[in-house]
Structure 1
Amino acid sequence: MNFARDHDELVRAKLATYHYVEEPDDNDFTRYVVLLDLLKRLVPRRRYKVHLSREIQANPKARELKSVLDEVIEQLRSGQSIAPYLSKAANDLTAQDGLLVHWGIHHLHLSPAASKGADGFVARADYLLFFRVDATNAYLIDIVPHKASALFVREELVRTVDRNWPALHHEIARSGAVPLRQLTDRENKSLRKKSTNTPVQTDSRIVIPAFGAMSSGHSLDAVMAADGTALELQRLELLIRINYAVWFGRTTDWVTALRLIETRDEGYVISDGSSGKVRFFERLA
């Protein structure tokens, strides 16, 4: 029984579908972090409750692009993939989405599904939709011209989120409590390239929009999740060793025949090669 090894095999198989090329210094942890960041960029397929900011409701482009906006909203609400609307770099394992990593904000192209080409993506659009998601909700922030300057370091996007859904941010201090010079777009872009995490001044407070990046450029979210999974699998192995006879109806001599065969959001699927039994175990944390 070695769930860490089994988990790494599952991760490698998933990465292979995206043409992952291993580096000499890769290991099970770094591979999983790469996969987690990728899956986050691709936006998990769930049935989201969709929320529209006051700003997007007042934006004339929302009315002008209502047909395709409604199309995207329906995809989010029904649990369908919105991958065709995303950047073509979304499934590039070497790409790092600074907007998502540092501010938790996704973007997609507002072109209709009917424009999808042979590459699986809709036509690149003149306008982009910026949005956030959590486990159950999608928050539509605003529509911005693709040609807008400093498109992916616009602090106004963070301020819009803070005005509409302040709970999505981590407050550092109220405005005026500590001195904070507002960074220029050029400074934000330069610092993001160096994986430097910076707070943002909103209308009434100073916030960290998301957990940000590690020095490698990968998201702290992914690193923490990978750490948590490693610890959880160790704990699961221990619990199964203690309870194997009860859970699988065999003596502990056969415990080595157990394998992790699938991971889900809710937990892990374990197969017992000696008895043929398959059991699902909910996440421990």
Structure 2
Amino acid sequence: MDFIKDIELVAIDALDNWKIDHSEALDWDRIVLLYFNKKLMFIDNTPRDVKVSRKIKSSTYKPDITKALAVIEDKFRKGEDVNPHSTRRLYKSKFTDNLFADWNIRHLHLSTGPHPKDERLLDGTSDLLFLRVTNDTAYFIDVRPHGTFEQIDLLEMAVDEWPGLYLWIPDATRVGRQIGTTGEIVEIKIETPEEIRDLRENRINVLYMIKGKVYVAPGGGIIPAGTLVNATRLHNALFYWRIDLEKCVNDNRPKIDEYLSQFQNYKPEEASFRVGMNEGEFVFFEETSWVGLSKFEGKENARFVWESL
């Protein structure tokens, strides 16, 4: 068993499929962190409901924008790939979307024509669709010009349009205690997009107060190295999940053999335990029988299939 090597090869294969350069990620930690940083910024091909803001519904757009909005909505509902509408920087290894990291808001180009230089993308546009994407719903917030990534009213619009879309807490002093301060929150009045841009570029994660409610890093935040906080969490969880797998195999081999013996072709003396990828997720499986035993669920502890039998 060499789960570290397995995971590294899986991550490299995914990055290669995305055509993302990983030549500067020279060890397991950096390879896996780069993988998760990119995976979180891609939108998976899951059928989703689509909710459109009052602002978009009440606006009149040029025909090409109206057409692109309809195309993107249809793709979301059908679970088709919307990533070609993304920024070309998504495929740059060092790029982290600060808007996504800060507010969990994405932007898509409103084009239906091919990109002249990159087959992975559609052509770029001066107007963008700003949206929030959850596991089951795409929330179309607004259409704005390119470069308008730091307007606080964009977050306010999403919060106002869909109460409950973002997690909030009413007691700001409790946040202060949780993050290790004296229990006091220092209020910084952010008045301009330039101030928000400066905070993001300096990797400073802030709390946002909207209508008396405190929203804590709606996008999860960004670390000083410039990658998503949530990517680091997944990297760390996967590391300990791998340790849990090794311990499970070593401590429960008779039970594993008993479970796998019901499947054709399994021979305990020839067993090969591996970590691979299935439908975009890390999975633990036995290679000779091709039986999956566990799936990485973003948690440190592995949950095994026989536990539910």
Please give the TM-score of this superposition, normalised by the length of structure 2.
Answer: 0.79
Which residues of structure 2 form unaligned runs of 5+? Answer: 173-183, 296-301, 304-309
Aligned-partner residue type, residue 117 of structure 1? P
Task: Output the CA distance in 1 between the equivalents of 2:65 and 2:21.
Answer: 36
Measured against aligned partners, the alpha-carbon deviations of 1:27-80 in whole angstroms (never above 9, x if no partner) come to 212211211121222212211111112222223338873221110001111111
Give the percent of matched residue pairs that are identical in Structure 1 and Structure 2.
Answer: 19
Aligned to 1:84: 84
Counterpart Cα distance in 1 of 2:106 and 2:36:
15
Q: Secondary structure at the match of 1:270?
A: strand
More divergent stretch after superposition (181-190 vs 97-106) = 181-190
Matching residue of 1:186: 194
| Residues 1:136 and 2:145 aligned together | no
Which is further off, 96-105 or 12-21? 12-21
Q: Which structure carries more relative contact order (alpha carbon 8 Å, separation 6+)?
A: 1
More divergent stretch after superposition (33-42 vs 215-224): 33-42
Asked whether 1:237 is paired with 2:246, we answer yes
Work out the number of aligned pairs and report it.
276
- Deviation for aligned residue 1:198: 1.3
1:211 aligns with 2:220: yes
Please provide the CA RMSD for this pair: 2.8
Letter in 2 for 1:171: W
Q: CA deviation at 1:251?
A: 7.7
Matched-pair contact (CA < 8 Å) for 1:169–1:210: no
Q: How far is the alpha carbon of 1:118 from its aligned partner?
A: 4.8
The match for 1:200 is 208
Q: Does 1:271 align with 2:268?
A: no
Residue 259 (1) aligns with residue 267 (2): no
Contact 2:275/2:282 (<8 A) preserved: no
SS of the aligned residue for 2:34 comes to: helix
SS at match of 2:256: helix
Q: Secondary structure at the match of 1:30?
A: helix
Give the TM-score normalised by structure 1.
0.85
Indicate the SS of the match to 1:34: helix
Counterpart of 1:119 in structure 2 is 118
Q: CA deviation at 1:19?
A: 4.3
Residue deviations 1:220-256, cap 9 Å, x none? 111111222222232233333403321333786655x
Structure 1 partner of 2:22: 21
Amino acid at match of 1:170: L
Stretch deviating more after TM superposition (114-123 or 84-93): 114-123
- Residue 159 of structure 2 corresponds to residue 162 of structure 1: yes
Aligned to 1:61: 61
Question: In structure 2, what is the equivalent of residue 226 of structure 1?
Answer: 235
1:152 counterpart (136, 140, 149): 149
Q: Choose which of 273, 281, 284 in structure 1 pairs with 2:293.
A: 281
Q: 1:32 to 1:86 in 2, by over 3 A?
A: same
Distance 1:173 1:180 in 2: 18
**Which amino acid in the other structure matches residue 138 of structure 2?**
A
Instruction: Give 5+ residue unaligned stretches, structure 1.
Output: none
Q: Quote the Cα distance in structure 2 between the aligned partners of 1:45 and 1:186.
A: 34
Structure 2 residue identity aligned to 1:193: E
The 3 A distance-change label for structure 1 pair 281 and 63 is farther
